[in-house]
Structure 1
Amino acid sequence: MKKLSILTSLFVFVFSNFGSAQTTAQFEQIGYLLEDALLYSKQYLIPATDAAVYQASSAWMNSAKKKENWEINVGIHGNMFFVPKSDRSFTISNSDFQFLQLEGTETTAVVPTAIGNDDTYYLVGDLDGQQVRLKTPKGVNQETINYPYLDVSLALPSGTELIGRFSTKTNLKRGYYQVYGVGLKHNISQYFPSLEPKKIHISAMSFYSNEDISFDFLDVNTSYGNLGINNLNGIVDTFHYQLAVSKEINKFEILGSFIVNSSMFNYVVSGEKGAIEDIIPAQQIINQLLDTIEKRKTNYIGEIAVNYSLNKFNFLSAFAFGKFFNYNLGVSYKIN
C-alpha cells in the first residue's frame, strides 16, 4: 500500500491548488475510494485471467506426426473450462478498506470473483456528507465456461507446421472472452529412424496467445458524477512451450504433452468515462494504480489427448490439467 499512498498524496497535492482545504479533503476521499476499487479489482479479476491462460493453452497440437509438405487443415473446436470452487470467491473485511464499508452490521463477507456466483453485497461510504453506495460485482455463475474457436494449420518443409487460432468475442454473463494466437511445431522423431516403424512420434512446439477477458465492474455514483470504472479488462500475453509424445494404434493416436507457459498480465478499466472526468481523470488514475499489479506468472500443464482419423477428417479430444482442468473437443478437415 505504500506506493498507493504516495500516488494518493500526489493526487491530493495536485488538486489542492484548485480548491479550499475542504475540497482537498474531498479529493483525498475520492483517492481512497479509487484505492479501495483497486484492492477489490485485484481479487475479483485475477482468478479469471489465470483461468484464461489455461483455456488458451489446450489442444494446439492435434498430432505429433510429421505431416506432408503444404498440407492444410482447418478445424473448429469447443473449449470447456471447469471453474474450481477455490477460485469462485474471496473474503472482504471492513478493515481492508479506507473509504468503503459493508452496509449493515456485518464486518466481513464472502463475495464472488469474476468466475464465481452471482451473490451481491452493498458497500457504502461518506463523501462530503453524501452517501456513496455501490453493489459488488457478480460472477459468471457457471460451473463451466465454454467458447468456440477456429484453427488453421499449414505443414511446411522439414517437419515444421505453422498453426493459428482465433475466437470471436464469446459473451459471458457479465462480460466477454476472446483469444487468438500463432505457433510453430517441429517434428523431432524424424531424426530417430527407429521410432517410425514403432509408430512413435515426438514433436516440440512454441506458440504465442493473447487473451482478452472483460467483466462488468463497479458502478460508482458520487455527488461529483459517476467514476467510470464500470468495466474491467484483463489482457494476457502468453508464450507457451510444449513437448508431446504420441503412439499410433490403428486409426487412433494417443498423445501425452507437457506444457510450460509464461504470461504477462495487464489490467485496465475501460468503457465510457464517467461525469467525474470533468473534474478529475479518474480512469487514468486508477489505470496507473492497476499498473502496480501487472506481473508475470509461469504455469506447468499436463495434457492427454486422443486423435482419431477418418478419411480427411480428424477428431480430437484433449484434457489439460494442473492448477485447473480444461477439456477441448475439435474436428478438423484436411483440404489437400
Structure 2
Amino acid sequence: MLKRSIFILIILSGFVSKAQTLDEQIGYLLSDALFYSDKYIVPATDAAVYQASSSWMNSAKKKEKWQFDLGVHANVFFVPNRDRKFAISNSDFQFFEIEGANEATVPTALGNDNQVYLVGDLDGQEIRFKTPEGINQETVVYPYLQASLGLPYGFEVVGRYSTRTKLKRGDYQVYGFGLKHNFSQYFSALESKKINLSFMTMYSNEEISFEFLDVDTDFGNLGLNQFTSKVDTYHFQLAVSKDIQAFEIIGSFIANVSNFNYRVSGNSSEASVFESAINQLLPQLEDTKWNYMGELTGVYHFSKFFAKTSFTFGKFVNLNIGINYTIN
C-alpha cells in the first residue's frame, strides 16, 4: 500500500512539474511578445502625435463673428531613419531565439520589410514565425477635412476629421476639435502694427493599426495578428503672426500631452488565451508623454479662398498643405 502511494505521488508530481514548466514557457513567451511590442509600435505612436499636432490654426487674427471656412488638407510626415529599425539579440529574449544568429536588426512599424525568424519551443512544439514588417514608406501622407467658425468675443471653434487612411501593413485615422482665443484685440498697439497674438487648445484622437504576429500553433492562433494604438492628445498652441498685404506669417510654439492605449487582436471572432493574456500585460507599455515643437505657417488670401502651408519641427518633421474656402 505504501509503495503504491509513493508511486502515485511520483506520477502526480510529474504532472505538476510539467504544468509548471508549460506555465513558465507561456509566461516567457508573453514577456518576449511584450518586449517586442514596445520596440515595434512606440515609434509609430509617437509619430502619430506629431502628425495630429500640425496646422490647427488657420490664422492668429481675430475671426469675424459667425465667419465660417472649410478646408481640404494633406499632411506629409517624414519618417526619420533612426525610428525605422531596432536591434535585437538572443539575450533580449526568454522564450525565443533568432534563427541562425545571435543578433539582428529588425524594422519598427515605421521601418522596411526586412524580416528574420524567431523560434522557440512550447511544450515540445516548435513556435516559428517571421518578425513583423514595417510600412516601408519614407513619407506618410493622409488627407483630412478641417472647418472653423468665428464666435463672439474673439473666440473660434475648429474641427478636424480624416477618413481611415490605408498604409502599407496598417491604417491611420485622426479626428478632433479645438478652441482659439485672440489676445491682440486687447492691445491697440499690436493691431495698429498688424501683429496678431492668439492661444489655442485642441483635443485629438489618433488611432493607428498594424499587422503584427500571425502565428498558428497546436494551441491555436496566438491572436496577435493586429496591433492597435489609440492615443488621446491635448494640444496647447501659442501663436504670433504678422500681416504683409495678402500674406500672414505665423510662428507658433506647441506643447501636447498624450495618453496611449494599446491592444492586440486575432483573425477570428474567438479571442485566444494568448490574446487575452497579452492585452492584460499591454498596460505596462502605456504611458503619458509630453512633446514640444515649433511651427511656421504661411497663409495667402485670394478672393474667398486662402492657401496654407505649415512646417512643424521638433523630434520629427511634418509638412501640411491646405486650401480653404471662406463664407462670411
Q: TM-score range by the shorter chain?
A: over 0.9
Partner Cα separation in structure 2 for residue 283 and residue 28 of structure 1: 17
Indicate the SS of the match to 2:171: strand
> Secondary structure, in 3 states, of the residue corresponding to 1:68?
coil
**Correspondence for 1:81 among 77, 80, 83:** 77
The corresponding residue for 1:112 is 107
1:225-260 CA-to-partner distances (Å, cap 9, x unmatched) read 111111001111110000000001110000000000
Kept in 2: contact 1:224–1:276 (CA 8 A): no
Give a deviation string over 1:147-198, Cα, whole Å, max 9, x none.
Answer: 0000111100001000010001100001100000110000010000111121
Aligned to 2:9: none
Q: Which residue of 1 aligns with 2:68?
A: 72
Residue aligning to 2:241: 246
Equivalent position of 1:317 in the other structure: 309
Q: Find the partner of 2:274 among 276, 279, 282.
A: 282
Q: Which amino acid aligns with 1:185?
A: K
TM-superposed deviation, 1:20: 4.7
How far 1:274 moved relative to its partner?
8.0
- The aligned residue for residue 9 of structure 1 is none
Quote the Cα distance in structure 1 between the aligned partners of 2:95 and 2:44: 26
1:223 to partner: Cα distance = 1.5
Identity, % of aligned pairs?
A: 60
Aligned residue among 153, 160, 165 for 1:158: 153
SS at match of 2:251: strand
Aligned with 1:177: secondary structure? strand
2:326 paired with 1:326: no
Structure 2 equivalent of residue 58 of structure 1: 54
Q: Does the Cα contact within 8 Å between 1:103 and 1:123 map onto a contact in 2?
A: yes
Q: How far, CA to CA, are the matches of 1:34 and 1:100 in structure 2? A: 10
Partner residue in 2 for 1:3: none
Q: CA deviation at 1:297?
A: 0.6
Matches within 5 A, 1:256-267: 256-267=251-262
CA distance in 2, matches of 1:181, 1:97: 39
- Give the drift of 1:87: 0.6
User: CA, structure 1 residues 151+239, in 2 after alignment: closer, same or farther (shift >3 Å)?
Assistant: same
1:144-293 aligned at under 5 Å gives the runs 144-273=139-268, 277=272, 281-293=273-285
Determine the C-alpha separation between the residues in 1 that align with 2:260 and 2:287: 6
Question: CA separation of 1:169/1:271 partners in 2, compared to 1, >3 Å: closer, same or farther?
Answer: farther
Aligned residues of 1:227 and 1:275 also touching (Cα < 8 A): no
Q: Distance in 2 between matches of 1:274 and 1:133?
A: 24
Shift of 1:273: 4.5
* 1:271 positional shift: 4.2
Report how far residue 34 of structure 1 moved.
Answer: 1.5
1:222 positional shift:
1.7
The alignment of Structure 1 onto Structure 2 pairs a total of residues equal to 315
Aligned mates of 2:164, 2:271 — CA distance in 1: 30
1:247-294 residue CA offsets vs partner (Å, 9 max, x unmatched): 0111000000000001111111124358783xxx32221111100111
State whether residues 223 and 275 of structure 2, in contact with CA within 8 Å, keep that contact through their aligned partners in structure 1: yes
2:119 partner amino acid: V
- Could you tell me which of 286, 300, 310 is aligned with 1:294? 286
State the alpha-carbon separation in 2 of the partners of residues 161 and 121 from structure 1.
Answer: 51
**TM superposition shift of 1:93:** 0.7
Worse-superposed segment, 230-239 or 24-33: 24-33
Task: Give yes or no for contact 2:221–2:266 (8 Å, CA) kept in 1.
Answer: no
Letter in 1 for 2:232: D
Q: What amino acid sits opposite 2:179 in the alignment?
A: L
Q: TM-score, normalised by structure 1?
A: 0.91
Partner secondary structure for residue 168 of structure 1: coil
TM-score normalised by structure 2 residue count: 0.93
CA distance in 1, matches of 2:42, 2:84: 11
| 2:23 matches 1:27 | yes
2:42 counterpart letter in structure 1: I
24-33 vs 171-180, which deviates more? 24-33
DSSP-derived class of the 1:47 partner: helix
Pick the structure with greater CA Rg. Answer: 2
